[in-house]
Amino acid sequence: MSKSKKVLLELNNLCKHYPIRKGLFSKVAAYVYAVDGVSFSIYEGETLGLVGESGCGKSTVGRTILRLLDPTAGEILWRGERIDELSRSEMRPFRKEIQAVFQDPYSSLNPRMRAADIVSEPLRNFEKLTQAEGRERVKELFALVGLRPDQMLRYPHEFSGGQRQRLGIARALSVKPKLIMCDEPVSALDVSVQAQVINLLGDLQKEFGVSYLFIAHDLAVVKHISHRIAVMYLGRVVELAETAELFSRPLHPYTEALLSAVPIPDPTRQRKQIVLGGDVPSPINRPSGCHFHTRCIYAQERCKRDEPKLEEVSPGHFVACHFKLNT
Ligand code: ADP
Ligand code: MG
């Protein structure tokens, strides 16, 4: 990661609440608090991992950054400039700089388009290249992501899952973005292929200095690629720290529980096994106080009442927990 640490993207108290309408007059009966006050920054050349169980709001954060969704409240800043209130046309120059790779490359790649056309689609949208220049760029991109030139005329179904994700990465990279929002990019792939795709993303970052928001439900997946990791629970970030720090000194009981599910390669070391009891509470009816108290082995009276704020407990290490902050 670059030493200068320039902030590329900043979220300030980002919220996305989905109204649930009921009845004849479509009155709003309740809200799904999918994302509720998320703040973090992504630096140039950095990978920020975003983890948490399914339904905690990770994709909603990602889709709001891409402006596929409009935030309910809060701010999104790109190099210090507000972009959350821009119109579609005002957003255009930023769309080129923020690209995306999604979980299921099969459903995000048009099955009737040839691989070369899929990869060059953003190029056609954003850059005025001659046909020859476009072809040349696509050839370079294929080589960059480890695909052969003779595969350029094939259709998505003629590729393996891992190769399709390489196509998705080539397409995202084609317009030289500054940030790629990767939403569970390896979750649908075989374990053996996951590492290859993660290594490819790492190599591309070294070469081009691109930043990633890397979303996964599994801490083990984000460990090797992330410089820092943010842990989400029910629409909020409960802990954020540098990767090594988070793995060696997790402070939030939820992070502890997620970590205890990650296998340790060294058989002489052991981690305390913490099994998370119960289901994730509904984001419509969230528990009072600390949202995690219903599943927390350390929960005290106060945790049912007061909502803990995300606080910096050591440089760069943020946690939202009464228990960990006061003991
Ligand atoms: P994750 O990516 O972490 O699995 P999501 O961001 O997809 O979580 O979803 C967060 C919460 O918002 C979930 O409870 C989900 O059911 C809810 N949700 C997502 N999209 C909508 C929608 N369009 N309308 C209502 N609720 C939604
Ligand atoms: Mg998701």
Q: Is residue 146 part of a domain?
A: no
- Please state, in angstroms and rounded to a whole number, the distance separating the CA atoms of residues 233 and 162: 29
pTM: 0.94
- Ligand 1 pocket at CB < 6 A: 18, 32, 34, 52, 54-60, 283
Domain holding 224: CATH number? 3.40.50.300
CA torsion 114→115→118→119, rounded to 10°? Answer: -150
| Number of the ligand 1 atom closest to the C-alpha atom of 54 | 4
Q: In this predicted model, what pLDDT tens digit does every residue of 294-323 receive, in sequence order? A: 999 999 999 999 999 999 999 999 999 998
The gap between the terminal CA atoms of the chain, to the nearest Å, is 33
Q: In this predicted model, what pLDDT tens digit does every residue of 31-78 receive, in sequence order? A: 999 999 999 999 999 999 999 999 999 999 999 999 999 999 999 999
- Please state, in angstroms and rounded to a whole number, the distance separating the CA atoms of residues 301 and 270: 31
Q: Is residue 126 part of a domain?
A: no
- Please state, in angstroms and rounded to a whole number, the distance separating the CA atoms of residues 308 and 289: 7
Burial 259-292 (b: 16+ CB within 10 A, else e): bbeeeeeeeeeeeeeeebeeebbebeebbebbbb
Confidence of residue 2 (pLDDT cuts 50, 70, 90): very low
Q: Is residue 111 part of a domain?
A: no
Which residue lies with its CA nearest to atom 2 of ligand 1? 59
Q: Is residue 57 part of a domain?
A: yes
Nearest ligand to the CA atom of 64: 1
What is the best residue among 50, 56, 60 to mutate for testing ligand 1's pocket, by most ligand atoms within 8 Å of CB? 60
**Close Cβ partners of 74 (under 8 Å, ≥ 6 residues apart):** 11, 12, 13, 14, 15, 37, 38, 39, 84
Q: What percent of the chain has pLDDT over 90?
A: 81
Nearest ligand to the CA atom of 33: 1
Q: Is residue 18 part of a domain?
A: yes
- CB 250 within 8 Å of CB 203: no
Helices marked H in 19-176 — which ranges? 58-65, 88-97, 105-108, 115-126, 131-144, 161-173
pLDDT at 326: 53
Q: In this predicted model, what pLDDT tens digit does every residue of 144-202 receive, in sequence order? A: 999 999 999 999 999 999 999 999 999 999 999 999 999 999 998 999 899 999 999 99
Q: In this predicted model, what pLDDT tens digit does every residue of 190-219 receive, in sequence order? A: 998 999 999 999 999 999 999 999 999 999
Domain count, the chain: 1
Confidence of residue 109 (pLDDT cuts 50, 70, 90): confident
Domain enclosing residue 199, as ranges? 7-97+177-249
Q: Is residue 272 part of a domain?
A: no
- On the CB side of 94, how many CA atoms lie within 13 Å of its CA? 22
Nearest in space to 57 (alpha carbons), one of 241, 270, 284: 284
> SS3 for 38?
strand
